[in-house]
Structure 1
């Protein structure tokens, strides 16, 4: 029985800052951001958009296309959790009106959270072949205004439906994993801003990639040329480019060109949205599917990385007619509907979102009708509403 990804939903908030504007405001050459980091735009979450609301909105992109009675599992991967005890998935389950019998919880390991959720969901569907699983990666990447990591921020969510006989990507058995207890990136309790040792984290990412990629090929008796595409967790697109250079080193011209082209396709969404932590790898997958022409059964390698640190390499085969499951026009419309903020507006919006509203204060949203948002707290209980 094949198990894999049957639906993909994407959401990002309705505001962004342009990297050229930000570079000018920071007295930097725009090419430092556009080429050196590889980013063009960065989505900005205001006070009314958090991991939960974005996860709801991403899942709404396909929820009317599935049989909700068959959903048996809902897992939420995030490092932007809204509560130290209650799972973000329970808020989502309520908003989507899923049945009480659904098993649901939240998982965390930095940017690895959605991959962990995927492996849990894959195994669940293998045992419960007549049921499906919804998994969500949803995050707001925050390092702070004017910090070295500022240009690698972002906000967004990816939601996946996992089922048997999937219509998009069939997952292959086996994986290569590697973990170490290190401090390349962390976010202490009580802080909405992450802390990072940027140069160290970049090198660890590359070291971990080489480790798991080489081990996976050895275990599965594969060569680099066997992959039709390799996609990466993209905290910023230049990071993935460096890993892809390792992958194509000493390869023949055909393999090199193919994997360079597939990487270019996979980074298009990230260039406009920015870093979305747990959702990043799967936004790369969506971007690849929408911007490349993959043959049926094409082999796609996926590299997942979460700081702290955990890495995994696995693969899947593209399903015939996967294009019918995508909503490329809808995804582009989601990006194009965003308001371009001035740098001052971005700074004010960003800093305001760091503050929790007073208990009892009701927030209003400027999102479009039908979009879910965080409306404040009542008796310190988070409230979510649909516009």
Structure 2
């Protein structure tokens, strides 16, 4: 592996649903103090998919947004499409294969899906970085998308969300160079899982919080052993956010363990990366990278040349600590105004409509069913016909991809 080649994120786009539920409305329905959600877990809204939205349609929006920024020649350099999710739509056919039929990408590339709870997005990113280090003339499109869904009227319901991130990994990236040094830690922990026969996740909340923090410590220690930078050389920190309060717990945990390295850091070192997640909810594999985009979009100062420390966690469990340095061209390569408008233009749902969308109309266990256009999105799940998922593309394909 050639560490001298600069490799990282050249383009990054996100997508989420056009509808959301406020946590105040959920608290009212649960007959509890809204502060338990707004401050207790740090969430204000949760993205809610319509019945004709799933991980494929949401992911396609983010992926197509990346492709829309590329020339035909740049699109032709894509050698691999990696789709990361823990809410896949098929036990055999990958989500990447469905995406190949929807977005403007040439067919002469490999396409596959990766799964390890919320860590899948990072698995895809690091795999892509290693691929490009080996073949710097090629690029890799990494798409991470999930819909977090828990059983109704359970503690996990308030952490639901939906969203996707698409990242183009290249040599000499415009946004952020990912360092080759990394620290990983894996263990068999039953903190979060979803058996095949279940439509919602099962979680041991307290065990999961402890596992997150313990795996983070071990991953950071491995990162240092492998030549990584100490915390006092990382200007910013992005943590996996199953809910935004967890990032605060992670920051406080590192501060307690490494007080000298963290002495000069204020809450701003991690809290700017929480802004989008607070408005969207948990997006599993996309969560860490929506946090990165939140930091890039919302930091008032120029981040050029500054280093970000990342911690990725996937229950079950796998963790990874790594870092990256922001490129001078990053502001020209991200669509800050469009990102902010995506969140501002969404529609608030009533609690009853939320229940219909999330629980009453989302059961895809019928062999034949057709879904009315509800989302207003560029891509949608139109039907299930003879147990085959049928997707529709609303926007016209780009002429340059013809």
Alignment check: 8 A CA contact 1:248 1:255 kept: no
Structure 1's consecutive aligned runs of 4 or more residues displaced over 3 angstroms after TM superposition are: 251-254, 357-360
1:305-352 CA deviation, whole Å, 9 max, x = no partner?
000000000111100030111112111221122221111211121113
Cα 1:311–1:272 change in 2 (3 A) is same
- 2:304 aligned to which of 283, 296, 305: 296
Q: 1:25 to 1:222 in 2, by over 3 A?
A: same
- CA-to-aligned-CA distance 1:9-63 (integer Å, 9 cap, x gap): 1110111110111112111111110111000000011221111111101112221
Match of 1:107 among 98, 110, 114: 114
What's the CA shift string for 1:108-133, capped at 9, x where partnerless? 00001011111111111112211111
Residue matched to 1:329: 337
Contact 2:181 2:228 in 1 (8 A): no
Is the 1:15–1:44 Cα contact (8 Å) retained in structure 2? Answer: yes
2:40 pairs with 22, 36, 40, which one? 36
Alignment of 1:174-213 (within 5 A): 174-213=181-220
SS at match of 1:149: helix
Does residue 252 of structure 2 align to residue 245 of structure 1? yes
Q: Deviations over 1:62-98 (max 9, x none)?
A: 2122221111100001001001100100111121142
How many angstroms apart in 2 are the aligned matches of 1:361 and 1:139?
22
RMSD: 1.5
2:78 to 71, 76, 81: 71
Q: Distance in 2 between matches of 1:251 and 1:285?
A: 25
Residue 175 of structure 1: how far off its partner (Å): 0.7
2:59 is matched with 55
| Greater CA drift, 58-67 or 272-281 | 58-67
The reply on whether 1:262 has 2:269 as its aligned counterpart is yes
| Aligned-pair CA distance for 1:218 | 4.1
TM-score (normalised: structure 2)? 0.92
- Among 37, 44, 49, the residue aligned to 1:45: 49
Unaligned runs of 5+ in 1: none
Q: Which residue is 1:154 aligned to?
A: 161
Q: TM-score, normalised by structure 1?
A: 0.96
CA distance in 1, matches of 2:118, 2:356: 27
- Alpha-carbon contact 2:18-2:345 (below 8 Å) kept: yes
